[in-house]
């Protein structure tokens, strides 16, 4: 649980602390775990406010999403795809996992799956700048330069207050030589 917290995987930490307390309620560390649970609940609720997860599986799905992101960051692409596809089967409209799966597919040589998944995201949210940036890169790197330039124009027009927009625009446009 503490390891998950150090890795900013709050849903996973919350599940682990709850499991610990349920299994060993009288352990000397259980009171500290309960205090941490009280702190984690509102933080996790705030993180999940925009997630489409509901009911009893909400926390489990959030932890699975954390596993997808951690696996992708660690370069464990097989695990990313495995967990991502599990999550997508249970929450088929969850766009962040689709974007993460795109990257894992592309890195494992499944360019057509990555492109198709990016387009699926954009059918649901046409200004999803993660999907636009990914699709720009994928198209360019697979020799579809004209289409990549068209998608890049859409990417440039996205308006949002999110800080990661600039990063994704720079990342994608650098492939096109647009510094």
Instruction: With a cut of 90, say whether residue 50 has pLDDT above it.
Output: no
HEC readout, the chain: CHHHHHCCCHHHHHHHHHHHHHHCCCCCCHHHHHHHHHHHHHHHHHHCCCCCCCHHHHHHHHHHHHHHHHHHHHCCHHHHHHHHHHHHHHCCCCHHHHHHHHHHHHHCCCHHHHHHHHHHHHHHCCCCHHHHHHHHHHHHHCCCHHHHHHHHHHHHHCCCCCCHHHHHHHHHHHHCCCC
Instruction: With a cut of 90, say whether residue 19 has pLDDT above it.
Output: yes
Alpha-carbon span 87 to 70, nearest angstrom: 14
What pTM does this model have? 0.86
Give 83-114 pLDDT, tens digit per residue. 999 999 999 999 999 999 999 999 999 999 99
With cut-offs at 50, 70 and 90, classify the pLDDT of residue 170.
very high
With cut-offs at 50, 70 and 90, classify the pLDDT of residue 5.
confident
State mean pLDDT over 156-165. Answer: 91
């Amino acid at each position: 649980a503490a390891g998950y917290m150090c890795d900013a995987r709050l849903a996973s930490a919350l599940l682990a602390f709850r499991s610990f307390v349920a299994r060993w309620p009288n352990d000397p560390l259980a009171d500290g775990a309960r205090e941490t649970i009280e702190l984690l609940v509102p933080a996790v609720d705030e993180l999940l406010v925009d997630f489409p997860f509901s009911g009893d599986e909400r926390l489990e799905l959030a932890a699975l999403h954390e596993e997808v992101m951690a696996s992708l960051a660690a370069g464990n692409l097989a695990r990313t795809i495995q967990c991502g596809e599990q999550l997508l089967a249970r929450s088929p409209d969850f766009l962040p996992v689709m974007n993460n799966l795109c990257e894992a597919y592309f890195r494992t040589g499944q360019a057509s799956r990555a492109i198709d998944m990016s387009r699926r995201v954009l059918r649901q949210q046409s200004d999803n700048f993660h999907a636009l940036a990914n699709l720009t890169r994928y198209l360019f790197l697979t020799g579809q330069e004209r289409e990549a330039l068209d998608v890049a124009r859409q990417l440039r027009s996205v308006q949002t207050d999110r800080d990661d927009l600039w990063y994704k625009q720079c990342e994608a446009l650098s492939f096109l030589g647009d510094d």
